Amino acid sequence: MSTTLVVSGYRDMDGEFARMLEIKQYCEKMHVSYPLEVRAYFLDHPEDSEEALRDEMAEINIEDALETYCNTYANGYTLDLTKLRTDVRYVRVSFSY
């Protein structure tokens, strides 16, 4: 049996995401095109539902901030907080075995 360690970052859904979602919803209400900034933020899928966008965008790739370490007694990751994106609200560390 093996153990797996996963480290994941999660977006602040009340910050920039909420602002962009509000603009998206306003555009839909007014039947106008989305601004380029909104299209880019939602990865060119702003027409997706709010629920789909929340599910898709909640988790953020933080691999650039992780470095594997290994010594005689343990294996793991070092998380460089200075390399995290500003919209990372929390980091989840999970073990499966």
Mean pLDDT of the chain: 91
CA distance 97 to 86: 32
Q: Are 90 and 7 in contact (CB under 8 A)?
A: no
| Both tokens assigned to 68 | 């594997």
pLDDT in tens, 50-87: 999 999 999 999 999 999 989 888 888 999 999 999 98
pLDDT in tens, 15-58: 999 999 999 999 999 999 999 999 999 987 888 999 999 999 99
What residues does each domain of the chain span? 4-96
> How confident is residue 9, by pLDDT bands cut at 50, 70 and 90?
very high
CA distance 66 to 84: 9
| pTM higher than 0.85 | no
